[in-house]
């Protein structure tokens, strides 16, 4: 198990379209992002703002961490605030490391296997995918 996180690492993310009944709640989203570090969590978890300030702060965090995405709009806090609420919350959860990305049908078999292993290991040890990824990154950086 590792102790340090590689803050320079860029991860791939994917959110599958959400359909309820015959209604599409939101479309798919492909993106790359820098997972959050402990200090990032501390910075963004401080809830010293009320109302819309709290959401603006969260949107700024996402805009800072998301590096590319499949939407035509440029990445920015104002655009993040216009996302469908459930898409915003799902994106935030992945970037924070609380939940794993959905499996992108365009990923290679190797990437699918790695992400499935991450999800399985996180469930087995009762940790978030982000914590498992941090431990694996540290183990790989020490071994390399």
Give dist(CA 93, CA 98) in Å, integer: 5
> Which two structure tokens, joined as six digits, stand for 40?
């990032």
The model's pLDDT over 44-98, given as tens digits with 9 standing for 90+, comes to 666 666 678 888 888 999 999 999 999 999 999 999 999 999 999 999 999 988 8
Q: Where are the alpha helices (DSSP H) in the chain?
A: 38-45, 52-65, 77-80, 85-96, 109-125, 129-143
pTM of the full structure:
0.81
The model's pLDDT over 89-144, given as tens digits with 9 standing for 90+, comes to 999 999 988 888 999 999 999 988 888 888 888 888 888 887 787 777 666 665 55
> Which two structure tokens, joined as six digits, stand for 81?
């605030």
Nearest to 16 by CA among 90, 115, 89: 90
């Amino acid at each position: 198990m590792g102790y340090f996180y590689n803050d320079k690492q860029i991860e791939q993310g994917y959110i599958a379209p959400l359909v309820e009944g015959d209604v599409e709640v939101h479309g798919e989203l492909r993106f790359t992002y820098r997972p959050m570090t402990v200090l990032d969590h501390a910075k963004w978890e401080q809830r010293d703002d009320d109302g819309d300030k709290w959401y603006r702060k969260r949107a700024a965090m996402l805009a800072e961490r998301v590096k590319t995405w499949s939407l035509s709009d440029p990445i920015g806090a104002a655009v993040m605030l216009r996302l469908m609420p459930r898409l915003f919350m799902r994106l935030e959860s992945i970037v924070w490391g609380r939940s794993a990305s959905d499996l992108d049908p365009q990923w290679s078999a190797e990437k699918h296997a790695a992400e499935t292993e991450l999800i399985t290991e996180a469930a087995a040890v009762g940790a978030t995918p982000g914590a498992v990824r941090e431990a694996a990154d540290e183990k790989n950086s020490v071994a390399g």
